[in-house]
Amino acid sequence: MTYLLWRLTARNLKVFFKEKANVFFALLAPLIVLALYVLFLGRIQVDGILASLGDGATAEAEAAVQSFCNSWMLAGALSCACITVPLCACGVMVTDKTRGITSDFLASPVPRWMPAASYFASVVLAGLAIGGAVLGVCFVWLAASGSWFLSAADVFGCIGTVALSVLSSSAFLTFLIGFIRTQGAFTGVNVILGTVVGFLIGAYMPLTYFPLGVQYFTLFIPGSWSAGMFRSFLMRGTLGEVAEVTSQPFADVLGREFSMTLNGFGTELGLPVMAAVLAGSVVLFAALALLAARLRSRPARADKKAKKEGKTQ
């Protein structure tokens, strides 16, 4: 049984990685975040923070603020990658539906949960593979730019956040994409999510810049909690450096402004709450995805049984 599940999962992974365009579009959102930061947002953010320091904007402060902004941008890029990669990997589900392969799975002598489980496993593995590669690139960027202020705990925290974020996104997207039956509909969802996800999780600008209603709405998006966790691990070292060259009150305000914590209807939510909510979303949406797949398979099983009974009569 385990071997069969692995073979189905490996087959889905091969279909996804066979199309190089899938990998490119999966990384398009984080590439957009990187391009916007390098071309526009980075200098604007650094200049804005330094302007608020006034006479305290020394060369050391500028270097610390630059490192802080670099870490904030990479947290957004990582968060986007942990969503868009599983989203593109879900395209295999839709392709199989349009080609009738899903019906073949349901007609074959395999447990009805296995095709859904194999899709979920392949989406998770694709997300972990590419997400891990993106994390490695982020570490290289921080080291090369002189912005490395990560401790060993921060590094392992980032690795764990990638795993938890991919699991959460994969569970949610497998559940959502399971209701889509055509390539056109999937393309529409892909374009919409790929476009707005950067805004909704605060990858292009901090969530504190949005109206309160929008900030509260983002609490219902798992990716927002993922982005908050990445910021907590990637930015706290640089925030400590900012505190040393400026002041602790200024660093505290800067951390809140750049959404290292989330506004939970007036309550400041930190790293432990983010991790708990993200873990809970994995369990919730994974259960919903498997339940929905089981319910969708019943009509096909019933039709198959009816045809067999008709033939015997």
Mean per-residue pLDDT of the chain = 85
Confidence of residue 306 (pLDDT cuts 50, 70, 90): very low
Q: What is the pLDDT of residue 170?
A: 92
CA-to-CA distance for 132 and 110, rounded, in angstroms? Answer: 32
Per residue in 294-305, pLDDT (tens digit) is 777 665 454 444
Confidence of residue 168 (pLDDT cuts 50, 70, 90): very high
Q: What is the pLDDT of residue 287?
A: 86
Q: Does residue 183 have a pLDDT over 70?
A: yes
- Residue positions counted in the chain: 313
Q: What is the pLDDT of residue 139?
A: 93
Q: Does residue 195 have a pLDDT over 90?
A: no
**Segment 271-284 mean pLDDT:** 92
Range with the lowest mean pLDDT among 109-118, 178-187, 198-207, 262-271?
A: 109-118
Confidence of residue 1 (pLDDT cuts 50, 70, 90): low
Exposure string of 208-224, with b = 16+ CB inside 10 Å and e = fewer, is eebeeeebeebbebbbb
The burial of 236, by beta-carbon neighbours within 10 Å (0-12 exposed, 13-18 middle, 19 or more buried), is given as buried
Q: Closest by alpha carbon to 128, among 92, 91, 170? A: 170
Per residue in 110-159, pLDDT (tens digit) is 777 788 888 899 999 999 999 999 999 899 999 998 889 999 999 999 99
Q: What is the pLDDT of residue 56?
A: 67
Q: What is the pLDDT of residue 156?
A: 95
Please indicate whether residue 195 or residue 216 has the higher confidence score (pLDDT). Answer: 216
**Segment 36-45 mean pLDDT:** 80
Q: Does residue 18 have a pLDDT over 70?
A: yes
Q: What is the pLDDT of residue 101?
A: 79
Q: Does residue 275 have a pLDDT over 70?
A: yes
**Segment 14-34 mean pLDDT:** 82
CA-to-CA distance for 159 and 163, rounded, in angstroms? Answer: 7
Per residue in 53-103, pLDDT (tens digit) is 877 678 888 888 899 989 999 998 899 899 999 999 998 888 888 888 777
Exposure string of 21-54, with b = 16+ CB inside 10 Å and e = fewer, is ebbebbbbbbebbbebbeeebbeebbeebbeebe
**% residues pLDDT > 70 (the chain):** 93
